[in-house]
Amino acid sequence: MNLESTTRTHLPFGDKHDSPFYGRDIVSVRQFDEDDLDYIFEVAHEMQAMVARVGTFDLLKGKLLANLFYEPSTRTSSSFTAAMERLGGSVIPINEVRYSSVSKGESLPDTVRTLERYADVIVLRHPDVGASAEAARYASKPIINAGDGVGEHPTQALLDLFTIQEELDAVNGLTVTMVGDLKYGRTVHSLSRLLSKFDVALNLVSPEILRMPAEILEELAESGTPFSEHDALDPVIPATDVLYVTRVQKERFEKEAAYEAVKDAFVVTPATLEAAKKLMIVMHPLPRVNEISMEVDADPRAAYFRQMEYGMYVRMALLAMVLGKA
């Protein structure tokens, strides 16, 4: 009988390390304090420098990532795959979950406890709020939340903040304007929470029916973060350092007329940016439909594609950290 030696410890295969994030799950932005953020961004910045210099390197050579996506997300899945491969690690892509054992009724805890027998870290995308926290309770290996329904998408929030810091050199002192659907937009909720740890002012611009939820506003107030709500973009543009755009979806409106009446007020065009600072950035979590016109893409202030690249560096940092290699 050999139970002891086969009972999995929390160590990845063939590895023994000591590092502050080693073996931890990345489930929510709420788990990070400012020191954590500093550390993550410092490592992400190093990742960027290494990629610029050598493209890839073998920091995670021999490590396996199970990329477990219960719903498709090309962007996030590709970003984690690229992050792992640029670190010299390998990926087990699991995209077809909907057709597979899950349709035979397997629970998430069982799927996760199987995959951690093969892999060293699991990235999980799931349509249900709380799925990552549940997976983390059962798994011994690190779980990284890649979005759980309308819940959290912590790596998105981290890459948003990292983008601001890298593009504008600092977060403190900035005026951040969020525009679009502030009610249902998971990204603006998480980013607001992260920004509330810094010395920033927020402009919240949305149609009346898509205003930022009271819960978030209370958190902003508690943290002493100045914010104001607006129903048009143009008045707040001149003071804006970061313009974070999200989509206003037609389906959110009961009547099409109500949608038609407001939609143009939240579209960013070259004309919008004429009134903006020379040194500011336009961000978007993508996919973008028409809420930023394509003419804006050529403007150096359009940071949304660079934002995607920062995301890869943040995910490289997190993978290296939870595997004890940073």
3-state secondary structure of 297: helix
Binds a copy of itself by CB under 8 A, chosen from 42, 92, 127, 150: 92
Minimum distance, C-beta of residue 167 to a copy of itself, in the bound complex (Å): 6
Mask for 133-162, x = binds a copy of itself (CB under 8 A): ------------------------------
9 binds a copy of itself per the rule CB under 8 A: no
269 binds a copy of itself per the rule CB under 8 A: no
Contact 322, 22 (CB under 8 A): yes
- H helices of 239-303, in order, are 256-262, 270-274
Minimum distance, C-beta of residue 220 to a copy of itself, in the bound complex (Å): 26
H helix count then E strand count, the chain: 11, 9
The partner residues of 122 in beta bridges, in order of sequence, read 66, 143
Binds a copy of itself by CB under 8 A, chosen from 18, 35, 52, 264: 52
Count, residues near a copy of itself per rule CB under 8 A: 74
Footprint of a copy of itself on residues 293-322 (CB under 8 A)?
294, 297, 300-301, 305-306, 308-309, 312
Size (the chain), residues: 326
224 binds a copy of itself per the rule CB under 8 A: no
Q: Which is nearer to a copy of itself, 45 or 197 (CB)?
A: 45
Q: Which is nearer to a copy of itself, 103 or 214 (CB)?
A: 103
263 binds a copy of itself per the rule CB under 8 A: no
Give CA–CA dist 20/17, Å, rounded. 10
Minimum distance, C-beta of residue 199 to a copy of itself, in the bound complex (Å): 19
168 binds a copy of itself per the rule CB under 8 A: yes
Binds a copy of itself by CB under 8 A, chosen from 26, 44, 47, 97: 97
64 binds a copy of itself per the rule CB under 8 A: yes
Minimum distance, C-beta of residue 212 to a copy of itself, in the bound complex (Å): 22
Contact 135, 112 (CB under 8 A): yes
Footprint of a copy of itself on residues 99-118 (CB under 8 A)?
99-102, 104-106, 109-111, 113-115, 117-118
72 binds a copy of itself per the rule CB under 8 A: yes
Element holding 138 (H helix, E strand): helix 131-138
Minimum distance, C-beta of residue 88 to a copy of itself, in the bound complex (Å): 8
The set of residues, in sequence order, having a beta carbon less than 8 Å from that of 275 and lying 6+ positions away, is: 234, 237, 238
Binds a copy of itself by CB under 8 A, chosen from 36, 56, 231, 262: 56
| Alpha-carbon dihedral 114, 117, 120, 121, rounded to 10 degrees | 10
Give CA–CA dist 22/11, Å, rounded. 9
Strand blocks (E) in the chain: 64-69, 90-94, 121-126, 143-148, 175-179, 201-205, 227-230, 242-245, 281-283
Report the Cα–Cα distance between both ends of the chain, in Å, rounded.
37
73 binds a copy of itself per the rule CB under 8 A: yes
